[in-house]
Amino acid sequence: MKYLNDKRIVMTLDAGGTNFVFCAIQANDAIVEPTTIPAETDNLNLCLEKIIDGFQNIKTKLKKNPDAISFAFPGPANYPKGIIEKLGNLPAFNGGIALGPMLKEIFKIPVFINNDGNLYAYGEAIAGFLPYINNLLKETKSSKHFNNLLGITLGTGFGAGIVRNEELFLGDNSASAGTWLLRNKLFPKMNVEENISIRGIQRTYSEGSKMEIANNLTPKEIYEIGIGKRKGNKKAALKSYKIFGEVVGDAMANSLALIDGIAVIGGGIAKAHSLFLPEIINEMNGTFKSFNGTINPRMSVKVFNLENEKDLNKFLRGKSANITIPKTNKHIQYDPLPRIGVGISKIGTNKAINLGAYAFALNSLNNFER
370 residues of the chain, pLDDT tens digit each: 678 889 999 999 988 777 899 999 999 999 999 999 998 878 899 999 999 999 999 999 999 999 999 999 888 889 999 999 877 767 888 778 999 999 999 999 999 999 999 999 999 999 999 999 999 999 999 999 999 999 999 998 999 999 999 899 999 988 889 999 999 999 999 999 999 999 999 999 999 988 766 668 999 999 999 999 999 999 999 999 999 999 999 999 999 999 999 999 999 999 999 999 999 999 999 999 999 999 999 999 999 999 999 999 999 999 999 999 999 999 999 999 999 999 999 999 999 999 999 999 999 998 765 4
Q: Which residues pair with 98 in a beta bridge?
A: 83
Evaluate whether 9-115 and 129-346 have a shared fold. yes
161: left (phi over 0), alpha (psi -120 to 50) or beta: beta
CATH class of 9-115: alpha beta
Residue 197 CB contacts under 8 Å (≥ 6 apart), including other chains: 155, 156, 157, 158
179, 192 contact by CB (below 8 A): yes
Determine if the pTM surpasses 0.75. Answer: yes
- In CATH, 129-346 is 3.40.50.1580: no
26, 39 contact by CB (below 8 A): no
In the chain, domain spans: 9-115, 129-346
Question: Among positive and negative, which fits the CA dihedral 290, 295, 300, 302?
Answer: positive
Longest dimension (CA), the chain: 76
The angle that helices 129-139 and 309-317 make with each other, rounded to 10 degrees, is: 70
Q: How far is CA 173 from CA 279, 342, 364, in A?
A: 33, 28, 18
Helix (DSSP H) and strand (DSSP E) numbers for the chain: 10, 19
With 0-12 CB in 10 A as exposed, 13-18 as middle and 19+ as buried, what is 40?
Answer: middle
Q: Which amino acid is at 143?
A: S
Beta strands in 107-197, from DSSP E residues, in sequence order = 111-114, 148-154, 158-164, 167-168
What's the first-to-final CA gap in the chain, in angstroms? Answer: 22
- pLDDT value, residue 15: 86
Residue 209 CB contacts under 8 Å (≥ 6 apart), including other chains: 232, 233, 236, 237
